[in-house]
C-alpha cells in the first residue's frame, strides 16, 4: 500500500513547469522576482514553511505604485490582505489602497457604510474601506461616537441619518448585551434582548432604508458556573448563545449577521479579547483580530450588494487527488485510501457542500481531457462527479486562457471566479495574467486544504433558498409580535429606560486625580481645550470665586464614574465657564443639558444674572461647536468678552479664534429631565432651585 | 535590528514609508500621533517583539529611544 502513495517530494515538485510571465514585467520592476520572493520556501521535508506574506505583498505593491501601475499595486495589496491579519500590515495596506484607489477606475459597487459600535470601533472603521475594496465595494465609512449606537439610531436628526447610509454595521460586544449574570426567566430575558435589537433594525430600515450587518456576541469563555453552564439556560453564557441564535432566525431581507462568536472561536477566544486593551482603550476585539472582523464584515456587505464570488475553479493533479495523473495513471493517484488519499476525499466533500449552497464548480487542468474524464467516471473514491461540474476545461492551454474560456462559457465575469491550484507557479501566472480572478493561497500539505478553502470568505450569500426565505418570514412575524411589547422606540424613551442618575459631587482629594486626568485627555467634548495640572486645579478650587462641578453618571446597567467637569469663575454678576468637558463615553445622554441647568442654579446661588461660556475650536472638539446655541445661549457682544480673544477681538492674533456665548439666568429653559440629578448626599437637585 | 523593526512598525502604523524615527522622537514630533495611533502603535510593537509592556512602563517612556532600550533589555531574556 505505501508504494501506491506518491512521496512527499512529489507534492512539492509536481507540476513545477515554470511559466514566468516575462512579457508582463513592469518597467523597473521584476515582477517575476517579486513573485519568486513570495513563493513558498521549502524546508528539508519539502513542505512549504513560508507562504505569501502580508509584508512581502505590500513591498511588491509599493514597488508597483512607484512605477505608476496602481492597478497592479492594488492587486498585491489585496493578495496581502488575504495572507495576514496583523494590525500594522493592515493599517499600511489601508493607506496604500486609498492612494491606489484614487488612481484606478471605479469599483463594481459603492456604498456608504455606517459603523455603530458599543466599543472603540475606530480601527474597524479605518480598516473597513480596504477590506470592502477587496470585495469590490468602494465604501465611504461613517463612525458613530463611542458607544452611541442606540442614540444614533433612535434620534431622527442624528449624524447617522444625515450620512444617509446604505449599510449600517452594528459592531457590538458581549458585555453590551442586557442580560443578568443568572436569570430566573431566561426566555423572557432573551426575548427582551432580541426584541431590543430587532427593534433597532426596524428603526434603521424605516428611517434610512439601509441594510443592517449585525455582529453576533462573542461569548466569553470565562464562565463562573463552569461546565454547569451547559445545564443552566439562565446562565449569561447560555443566554448570549440563545440571543445569537434568535438574532439569526429573526434576520430577514435587509439584515445579515457576521458570526463573531464563530470567528472568535476560530482564532481562539483568548486571542479575540485582550483584557489589557479593553482596560486601556475599550477595545472589545483584540487589535490583531480587527482585521479579521473587517474582512468578514466586508464579505457580508459584499454579499448584500451582490458582489460575492460565484464559481470555484479547480485544478486536478495534486488538488483534487494526489499525484500527477499523466505519470501515475488512474490506479496510481492518491484518493480515498491512506491518509493522503483521505485528505483529498475530505477536500472533495467540502467542495460539494459549497456546491450545495450554490457555488458553481468548474475544472481547469493541464491534462488530456479524456484521461481526466476517466477519473471522474471510473475512480471509485471520486466524490465529485462530472454532473457537479458546470464548466470542464482540460487542455494544454495556459490557465489564464482556460479561465477566460470558462468565464465566457458560464456567462459570468472573471471577477466571479475563484481559482484553486496546488502549484504556486500557476497561481502566480493567474494572479498576473488573469486579473480579477481570486486566487486562494493553498498550503503545500493536502491535510490543510479544507481549512484553507473554508478560510476564504468571499463566497458569502445572504440566503439559501426560497423555502429558507419563507421560513425566515414566518419567524419574523412572530418576532414582530414580540416586538410590539418591546423596548424604546424614541430617544426620550430610551433615555428614560436607562434610569440615569447624575450626581454633582465636590472636588476633593478623592475626585481630583480623575478630574485632572479628564482635563488632560478629553478632546472631543471640551469647550475650551484648556489643560491644567494638579496644582492649578487645586488653586482654582481654593478660590471662593470659583466653582468646580464634578459629575458622575450611572444608569441601570453601568456606573460610568466621574465623567464631567465644569470650572466656573464669578466675575461680578457674570459666572464665566472657564472649562467644560465630558468623557466621550457619556456623550448623547443629555448630561450636558442637565449640567447647564446645574450651572444656572449655581449662578443664581451666587447672585449672578448671566452665564457666559466660550467655545475655542481645537482639532478635535467640533462636536461641541454648536453646544451653546443649542442650550439657548446667544452670541455675546464684543464688549462682553472679558478675555478679548473672541472672534473679531482686538487683542493678540496668536489667540485661537473662538466665540463667546451668554445665557440670561432669568430666562433659562428647563432641562429635558430624562435623568435624576442628585447632590453628593443623594438629594435631588431640582430645577429652578439653587444648589444647596 | 530592534531599531529597524521599530522603524518598520512606525512606518506601517503611520502609513508613511518615508517616516524616520530616532531615539529622541516623541509623540510631540509627529502631528498625527494621537491617542488612537498611540494604542495601535503599542499593540503593533508588542506584537512585533512578542512582548507585553506593563502599563506603568508604558506611561514612563519619554521617547522612542527609551522604548527601544526597554525592548532590547527584554530581548536579553531578563
Rounded to two decimals, the ipTM of the complex is 0.91
- Measuring CA to CA, which residue among A34, A46, A35, A55 is closest to residue A7? A46
Q: How confident is the model at residue A343 (pLDDT cuts 50, 70, 90)?
A: very high
Half-sphere exposure of B45 (CA within 13 A, CB side): 25
Instruction: Say yes or no to pLDDT of A189 above 50.
Output: yes
What pLDDT is stored for residue A248 in this prediction?
95
Contact B44 A87 (CB under 8 A): yes
Residue A435 CA to residue A415 CA, distance in Å, equals 8
Q: How far is CA A45 from CA A10, A12, A13, A48, A78, in A?
A: 11, 9, 12, 9, 30
The verdict on A33 touching B (C-beta cutoff 8 Å) is no
Residue A433 CA to residue A202 CA, distance in Å, equals 46
Residues of A in contact with B40 (CB under 8 A): 87-88, 91, 123, 287
DSSP, collapsed to helix, strand or coil, labels residue A603 as helix
Residues of A in contact with B47 (CB under 8 A): 86-88, 288
Residues 25-64 of B with CB under 8 A from A: 34-36, 39-40, 42-44, 47-48, 52, 55
Residue A4 CA to residue B39 CA, distance in Å, equals 55
Residue A320 CA to residue A317 CA, distance in Å, equals 6
**Among chain A residues, CA nearest to B53:** A276
Specify the CATH class of B2-73 in words.
Answer: mainly alpha
Compare CB distances from B9 to A62, A88, A123 and report the shortest one's residue. Answer: A88
Instruction: Say yes or no to pLDDT of A221 above 70.
Output: yes
Q: Is residue A561 left, alpha or beta, with left meaning phi > 0 and alpha meaning psi from -120 to 50?
A: left
Contact B39 A96 (CB under 8 A): no
Residue A594 CA to residue A606 CA, distance in Å, equals 19
Contact A88 B13 (CB under 8 A): yes
Contact B12 A281 (CB under 8 A): no
Instruction: Say yes or no to pLDDT of A404 above 90.
Output: yes
DSSP A480: H
Q: Would you list the domain boundaries of chain B? A: 2-73
CB atoms within 10 A of CB A226: 7
Compare CB distances from A91 to B40, B52, B55 and report the shortest one's residue. Answer: B40
- The Cα of B42 is separated from the nearest Cα of chain A by a number of Å equal to 10
Residue A277 CA to residue A284 CA, distance in Å, equals 8
The mean pLDDT of A95-108, rounded to a whole number, is 94
Compare CB distances from A288 to B11, B12, B47 and report the shortest one's residue. Answer: B47
Kindly report the three-state secondary structure assignment for every residue of chain B.
CHHHHHHHHHHHHHCCCCCCCCCCCCHHHCCCCCHHHHHHHHHHHHHHHCCCCCHHHHHHCCCHHHHHHHHHHHHCCC
pLDDT digits (tens, 9 = 90+) for A586-622: 888 899 999 999 999 999 999 999 999 999 998 888 8
Share of chain A above pLDDT 70, in %: 86
**Among chain A residues, CA nearest to B31:** A619
What pLDDT is stored for residue A405 in this prediction?
93
DSSP, collapsed to helix, strand or coil, labels residue A553 as strand
Residues of A in contact with B16 (CB under 8 A): 95
Strands, sheet with A167-171, edge to edge from the N-terminal-most edge strand = A137-143, A109-117, A167-171, A211-215, A255-258
Contact B35 A521 (CB under 8 A): yes
**Summary mean pLDDT of chain B:** 89
The verdict on B15 touching A (C-beta cutoff 8 Å) is yes
Q: At CA A298, angle to CA A295 and CA A303, rounded to 5?
A: 125
The mean pLDDT of A283-290, rounded to a whole number, is 96
Residues 6+ apart with CB under 8 A from A158: A144, A151, A152
pLDDT digits (tens, 9 = 90+) for A510-536: 888 889 888 988 888 999 988 888 888
Q: What is the dihedral of CA A67, A72, A78, A82, to 10 degrees?
A: -100
Out of A181-195, A217-231, B27-41, which region has the weakest mean confidence (pLDDT)? B27-41
**What residues are paired with A265 via a beta bridge?**
none
- Say if CB A94 and CB A126 are below 8 A apart: yes
Compare CB distances from B36 to A92, A122, A277 and report the shortest one's residue. Answer: A122
Compare CB distances from B12 to A91, A283, A287 and report the shortest one's residue. Answer: A91
The verdict on A280 touching B (C-beta cutoff 8 Å) is yes
Highest mean pLDDT of the ranges A8-22, A377-391, A472-486: A377-391
Compare CB distances from A88 to B12, B17, B39 and report the shortest one's residue. Answer: B12
Residues of A in contact with B35 (CB under 8 A): 281, 521, 523
Residues of B in contact with A88 (CB under 8 A): 8-9, 12-13, 40, 44, 47-48
The verdict on A281 touching B (C-beta cutoff 8 Å) is yes
Amino acid at each position: 500500500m505505501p508504494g501506491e502513495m506518491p512521496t512527499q517530494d512529489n507534492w512539492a515538485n509536481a507540476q513545477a513547469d515554470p511559466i514566468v510571465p516575462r512579457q508582463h514585467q513592469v518597467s523597473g520592476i521584476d515582477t517575476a522576482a517579486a513573485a519568486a520572493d513570495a513563493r513558498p520556501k521549502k524546508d528539508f521535508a519539502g513542505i512549504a514553511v513560508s507562504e505569501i506574506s502580508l509584508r512581502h505583498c505590500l513591498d511588491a505593491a509599493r514597488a508597483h505604485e512607484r512605477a505608476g501601475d496602481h492597478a497592479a499595486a492594488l492587486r498585491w495589496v489585496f493578495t496581502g490582505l488575504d495572507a495576514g491579519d496583523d494590525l500594522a500590515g493592515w493599517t499600511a495596506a489601508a493607506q496604500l489602497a486609498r492612494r491606489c484607489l484614487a488612481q484606478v477606475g471605479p469599483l463594481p459597487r459603492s456604498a456608504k457604510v455606517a459603523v455603530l459600535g458599543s466599543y472603540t470601533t475606530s480601527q474597524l472603521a479605518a480598516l473597513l474601506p480596504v477590506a470592502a475594496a477587496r470585495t469590490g465595494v468602494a465604501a465611504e465609512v461613517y463612525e458613530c461616537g463611542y458607544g452611541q449606537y442606540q442614540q444614533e439610531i433612535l434620534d431622527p436628526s442624528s449624524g447617522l441619518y444625515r450620512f444617509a447610509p446604505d449599510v449600517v454595521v452594528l459592531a457590538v460586544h458581549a458585555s453590551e448585551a442586557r442580560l443578568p449574570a443568572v436569570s430566573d426567566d431566561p426566555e423572557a430575558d432573551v426575548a427582551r434582548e432580541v426584541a431590543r435589537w430587532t427593534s433597532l433594525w426596524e428603526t434603521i430600515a424605516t428611517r434610512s432604508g439601509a441594510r443592517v450587518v449585525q455582529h453576533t456576541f462573542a461569548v466569553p469563555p470565562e464562565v463562573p458556573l463552569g461546565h454547569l453552564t451547559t445545564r443552566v439556560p439562565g446562565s449569561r453564557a447560555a443566554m448570549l448563545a440563545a440571543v445569537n441564535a434568535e438574532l439569526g432566525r429573526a434576520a430577514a431581507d435587509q439584515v445579515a449577521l457576521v458570526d463573531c462568536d464563530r470567528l472568535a472561536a476560530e482564532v481562539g477566544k483568548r486571542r479575540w479579547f485582550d483584557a489589557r486593551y479593553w482596560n486601556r482603550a475599550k477595545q472589545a476585539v483584540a487589535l490583531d483580530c480587527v482585521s479579521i472582523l473587517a474582512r468578514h464584515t466586508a464579505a457580508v456587505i459584499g454579499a448584500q450588494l451582490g458582489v460575492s464570488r460565484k464559481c470555484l475553479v479547480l485544478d486536478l493533479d495534486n488538488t483534487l487527488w494526489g499525484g500527477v495523473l499523466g505519470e501515475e495513471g488512474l490506479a496510481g493517484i492518491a484518493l480515498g485510501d491512506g491518509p493522503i488519499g483521505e485528505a483529498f476525499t475530505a477536500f472533495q466533500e467540502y467542495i460539494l457542500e459549497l456546491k450545495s449552497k450554490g457555488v458553481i464548480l468548474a475544472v481547469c487542468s493541464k491534462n488530456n481531457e479524456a484521461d481526466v474524464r476517466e477519473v471522474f467516471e471510473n475512480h471509485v473514491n471520486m466524490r465529485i462527479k462530472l454532473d457537479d461540474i458546470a464548466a470542464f476545461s482540460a487542455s494544454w492551454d495556459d490557465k489564464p486562457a482556460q479561465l477566460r474560456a470558462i468565464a465566457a462559457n458560464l456567462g459570468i465575469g472573471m471577477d466571479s471566479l475563484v481559482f484553486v491550484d496546488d502549484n504556486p507557479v500557476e497561481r502566480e501566472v493567474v494572479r498576473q495574467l488573469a486579473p480579477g480572478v481570486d486566487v486562494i493561497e493553498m498550503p503545500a500539505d493536502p491535510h490543510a486544504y479544507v481549512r484553507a478553502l473554508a478560510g476564504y470568505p468571499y463566497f458569502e450569500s445572504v440566503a439559501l433558498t426560497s423555502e429558507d426565505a419563507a421560513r425566515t418570514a414566518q419567524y419574523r412575524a412572530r418576532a414582530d409580535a414580540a416586538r410590539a411589547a418591546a423596548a424604546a422606540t424614541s430617544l426620550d424613551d430610551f433615555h428614560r429606560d436607562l434610569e440615569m442618575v447624575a450626581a454633582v459631587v465636590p472636588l476633593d482629594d478623592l475626585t481630583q486625580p480623575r478630574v485632572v486626568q479628564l482635563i488632560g485627555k478629553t478632546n472631543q467634548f471640551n469647550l475650551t481645550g484648556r489643560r491644567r495640572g494638579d496644582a492649578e486645579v487645586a488653586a482654582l478650587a481654593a478660590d471662593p470665586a470659583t466653582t468646580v462641578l464634578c459629575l458622575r453618571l450611572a444608569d441601570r446597567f453601568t456606573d460610568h464614574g466621574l465623567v464631567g467637569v465644569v470650572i466656573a469663575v464669578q466675575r461680578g454678576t457674570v459666572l464665566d465657564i472657564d472649562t467644560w468637558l465630558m468623557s466621550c463615553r457619556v456623550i448623547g445622554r443629555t448630561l450636558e443639558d442637565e449640567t447647564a441647568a446645574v450651572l444656572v442654579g449655581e449662578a443664581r446661588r451666587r447672585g449672578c444674572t448671566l452665564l457666559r461660556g466660550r467655545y475655542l475650536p481645537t482639532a478635535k472638539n467640533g462636536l461641541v461647536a454648536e453646544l451653546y446655541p443649542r442650550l439657548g445661549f446667544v452670541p455675546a457682544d464684543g464688549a462682553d468678552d472679558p478675555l478679548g480673544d473672541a472672534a473679531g477681538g482686538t487683542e493678540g492674533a496668536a489667540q485661537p479664534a473662538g466665540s463667546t456665548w451668554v445665557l440670561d439666568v432669568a430666562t433659562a429653559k428647563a432641562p429635558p429631565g430624562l435623568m435624576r440629578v442628585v447632590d453628593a448626599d443623594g438629594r435631588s437637585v431640582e430645577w429652578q432651585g439653587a444648589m444647596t | 535590528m530592534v531599531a529597524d523593526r521599530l522603524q518598520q512598525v512606525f512606518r506601517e502604523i503611520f502609513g508613511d514609508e518615508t517616516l524616520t524615527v530616532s531615539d529622541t522622537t516623541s509623540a510631540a514630533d509627529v502631528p498625527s500621533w494621537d491617542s488612537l495611533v498611540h494604542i495601535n502603535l503599542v499593540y503593533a510593537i508588542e506584537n512585533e517583539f512578542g512582548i507585553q509592556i506593563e502599563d506603568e512602563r508604558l506611561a514612563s517612556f519619554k521617547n522612542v529611544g527609551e522604548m527601544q532600550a526597554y525592548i532590547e533589555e527584554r530581548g536579553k531574556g531578563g
